Structures are given as C-alpha cells and as structure tokens.
Amino acid sequence: TGRGSVTMEKAIGRDRTVAVVGSGTMGQGIAQVALVAGHPVRLYDSAPGRAAEAVAAIGARLDRLVEKGRLDAAAREDAAGRLHAAGELAELADAALVVEAIVEDLTVKRGLFAALEEVVADDALLATNTSSLSVTAIAGALRLPGRFVGLHFFNPAPLLPLVEVVRGFASDESAATRAYETVKAWGKTPVRCADTPGFIVNRIARPFYAEAFRVYEEGAADPATIDAALSECGGFRMGPFELTDLIGQDVNEAVTRSVWESFFQDPKFTPSLAQRRLVESGRLGRKTGHGWYPYGEGAERPRP
C-alpha cells in the first residue's frame, strides 16, 4: 500500500460518522442509506440552507417508511437524532467516510476534495459518486490519493441495490475493499470495477440508448413501438425512450457525450441528433412535462 493508504479493510463501524457533501437528489439518497444503516450522518451543501432542507426532506421520507410499516417509529426517531446539517466543511472533521455528490464538474470536485483533505483525518476514506468523470482525475488533486475511490450509487439510492465501487489509478486496494465492505454492510450489492469511462452500467447502456434512437431516426419504428417491443418482449422494465424521459434527456445526453469523448470519439458511442434536438427545445422528459412523450394532465401517450 502506498501513501495515504487506509489500512483497515473491514467495513466502517456503525458508530463512525459518514459525511455526505452535496445534498441534492443523490446526496439525500446516500445520506438516507447511511443513516438507516446506523451511522451518524452529516450533510453539507455549499448552497445556503440546502443541507437543512435536505435533512427535513429525509425526515419526511422516513415518516413515509413508518406509515408504510417499513420502519418502526422508534427506529425513525433514532435515525433522525443521528442526522445533522453541517454549515461548514470543518464540521466534517470526524468523518470516517466522505461521499461526494456535488455538481458533475471536474474542477469543482477537485477543489472540494483539496479543501476536504485539510479538514478530515488522514485515514478517512474519500469517495465520489460521479457518473461520468474519471475517478483518477478527481483524485489527482489529493495529497493522499490512495484513500480515494468511486462509490457510484444509482437513483433512487435508497431503493436501487447496485453500487459500483471504482478503483482509480492511484486508489489502494485496501481502500476499495473497505468501501466495498461498507456499502455491503449497508445492505447494498456492490460490484468492483476499474476506472474506465461510464464504469460498467453507464457504458453498456450507451449503445442500448443509441441504437434505439438510431432505429427511430432511420424511420424504422416510432418510440412507442420500440419501447413496447423491448419492455414487452425484451424483458426490460422500461424501453429506452420512456427510461430516458425519466432520467432527463439532458442528463442522459451529457453522460453519452462524456463517454464518447473519453473514448476519443469512438463512433460506437456517438450521441444522437434526435436527442440533441429534444434537449435544445427544452423537452427534457418528465421533469419538463415533455420529452419523447408528453406528460401531465390530459397527455395522450402515443400507441405502439
């Protein structure tokens, strides 16, 4: 093991603090997972008030779990007592693990980790939830890059079991093992992989979306027909058009672009022109009321 190695290969103890930086969609989900697993959790966000709002949102989600009988009331109270918003990065000083889920921007992420390293102990495990950036590149800013890994959760993090544990070029084996064991102890299904663009799932999914969009662009079939064919006969829970409407066309296109560029513009990952037009027109999917399909009151879904 090199400099900055995390020597302990076991899961991080439940009594140790887990910090989550970035309290948006993913940060909230990851914080909830660590909280329900029994850790004290600190949530930090650079937007003023955002972390406190996230704490309230997680509390409301725990309430719903109690209503549905999936969490007992005493466990909810106990969990709520362990969750705190942090007003400053310095309040994350005692974290044994920091999971970053901030904006998908290399420079901003590198800046955050350089600042975090000034705050946390040298044996704290540091992780990024990036979908499409290089784990190795983010770690490039660190004094002790050995303790840095990717922990790629899927949305919604409390529901989806898969977590890709990504070993960057400079990550120590023991840090990856510790991260793997920790998320496994949280009830997740971790898989290990190296730091290649898109990791496993986002990379293999690219040609799935791209080929469907091309079939549509060629006029071979419309979105509803392709979705029906894949979900009704292909065994997919959702077809590529309805799935990207759920993810957001902008988010999905950004990941495609990133994977394509990272593989030196390999034509296999070429982004779709039809999807580009959707993004340009603001038809981003469910979140804007229109994507490949219309949504909301009175929206008629085309038939296959």
| Contacts with ligand NAI, residue ranges (CB under 6 A) | 21-27, 45-47, 50, 101-104, 108, 112, 129-131, 153-155
Has 252 been annotated as catalytic? no
Give me the catalytic one of 39, 117, 134, 164: 164
- In the annotation, is 155 catalytic? no
State both tokens at 234: 């292909």
End-to-end Cα separation, the chain, in angstroms: 56
- Give me the amino acid identity at 110: R
Q: Which of 23, 129, 131, 258 is catalytic?
A: 131
Task: Select which of 202, 252, 258, 272 is catalytic.
Answer: 202
The two tokens of residue 169 are: 């070029």
Q: How far is the CB of 134 from ligand NAI (least distance, A)?
A: 12
> How many Cβ atoms are within 10 Å of 160's Cβ, its own excluded?
13
From the CB of 12, what's the least distance to ligand NAI, in Å?
20
The nearer residue to ligand NAI, 26 or 83, going by C-beta atoms, is 26
Mark whether 131 is an active-site residue.
Answer: yes
Q: Which residue is nearest to ligand NAI (CB)?
A: 24
CB of 9 vs ligand NAI, minimal distance in Å: 26
Pick between residue 131 and residue 177 the one whose CB is nearest to ligand NAI. 131
Whose Cβ is closer to ligand NAI: residue 12's or residue 54's? Answer: 54
Which residues, at least 6 apart from 52, have a Cβ–Cβ distance to it below 8 Å? 85
Q: Among residues 44 and 216, whose Cβ is nearest to ligand NAI?
A: 44
Shortest Å distance, C-beta 95 to ligand NAI: 14
Closest distance of CB 55 from ligand NAI, Å: 13
**Residue nearer to ligand NAI on the CB measure, 136 or 216:** 136
User: What is the per-residue DSSP string for the chain?
Assistant: --TT-----SPPPTTSEEEEE--SHHHHHHHHHHHHTT--EEEE-SSTTHHHHHHHHHHHHHHHHHHTTSS-HHHHHHHHHHEEEESSGGGGTTEEEEEE---S-HHHHHHHHHHHHTTS-TT-EEEE--SSS-HHHHHTT-SSGGGEEEEEE-SSTTT--EEEEEE-TT--HHHHHHHHHHHHHTT-EEEEEES-TTTTHHHHHHHHHHHHHHHHHTTSS-HHHHHHIIIIIS--SS-HHHHHHHH-HHHHHHHHHHHHHHTTT-GGGPPPHHHHHHHHTT--BGGGTBSSSB-STTPPPPP-
Q: Least CB distance from residue 129 to ligand NAI, whole Å? A: 4
Task: Using the minimum distance from each CB to ligand NAI, give the nearer residue, 22 or 223.
Answer: 22
Please confirm, yes or no, whether 300 is among the known catalytic residues.
Answer: no
Q: Are 82 and 59 contacting, i.e. CB atoms less than 8 angstroms apart?
A: no
Catalytic residues: 131, 152, 164, 202
